[in-house]
Amino acid sequence: MFSPNGAFSGFSIRDKDESLRFYRDALGLDVSENAMGFLTLHLASGANVLAYVKGDGHQPASYTMLNFEVDDIDEAVDQLNARGVVTTIYNGTGTPVDDKGIMRGNGPDIAWFTDPSGNVMAVIQASAGS
């Protein structure tokens, strides 16, 4: 019988050192590296996400593969932008976003960005009571 003890998500990256700096310094996440060179993103929720190098075989996730829930999306976007994270990746594409790259009033407020490997991620406004 299938009886898992837990689960975690993972995704591929192009370059370990570049990704480590991005997740640790630009996003401010707690990141560890194991003996095989895999990165583990330790999220405040207690979840862990594995990032593994796929090198030249890496294909970036074109969908939003990781969402970071925040209390104040404007503050989060301002902080990310100050750290060099570009949140305007969908400006001019027909996606209804403002000058900061935030889509408002069409579900929860959300702003997308990419990691150094081109994977799409987002900050998303926490709903009241979550």
Domain ranges of the chain: 9-125
Whether domain 9-125 has CATH 3.10.180.10: the reply is: yes
Return the H-helix or E-strand segment holding 12.
Answer: strand 9-13
Contact 55, 62 (CB under 8 A): no
Residues in the chain with pLDDT values less than 50:
none
Residue 128 has a pLDDT of 61
Entry pTM: 0.90
Residue 5 has a pLDDT of 87
Residue 129 has a pLDDT of 52
Residue 6 has a pLDDT of 83
Residue 1 has a pLDDT of 81
